[in-house]
Amino acid sequence: MERLSDEAIKHVAAYFTALSEPTRLRILNLLREQEQSVGALADLCNSSVANISRHLSLLTQRGLVRRESRGNSAFYSIADPSIYALCDLVCNSIARQLDARARENAAFVRSVTPQ
C-alpha cells in the first residue's frame, strides 16, 4: 500500500468491505468449487434469491465475480482467482492466532487447576 493515492485507498477499502460480510464469503467459497446459478447459491446459503442477488451485485461491482446470462438464468463464477490467495492468507493467519490462544488457555488452565 506504499504511496497509494486517496482514490486508490478508497477502492482498496471498498474491496475489503465486499469481504466483510459472511454471506459474501460463503458465496465466494462456493464459487471456488464451480460456477453457480443464483437459485443454487440461495439454496446452498439457506437464503432468499433476492438476498443472494444483492450480495452478488456487490461482488460483481467490486470485480470479484462475473455474471453470465444463459437463457432465463444467470450464472456466477470467480472473476479474480487471486481472491483465494488473499482468503487463504487471512484464514491461515487466523488459524495460527486461534492455535496460539488455545495453547495459552490450556497452559493457564493447567496452572490454576488443583492437582
The conformation of residue 34, written as its DSSP 8-state character, comes to: S
Q: In this structure, are strands 73-78 and 65-70 parallel, antiparallel, or unpaired?
A: antiparallel
CA angle 69, 61, 27 (to 5 degrees): 70
Phi, psi angle pair for 14, to nearest 5°: -65, -40
Q: To which H or E segment does residue 67 belong?
A: strand 65-70
Q: Residue written as cell 456487490?
A: 58
pTM of the model: 0.80
Q: What is the pLDDT of residues 64-111, one digit of tens each?
A: 999 999 998 899 999 989 999 988 898 888 889 988 888 888 877 766
Q: What is the mean pLDDT of residues 21-34?
A: 95
What gap in Å lies between CA 60 and CA 63, rounded to an integer?
5
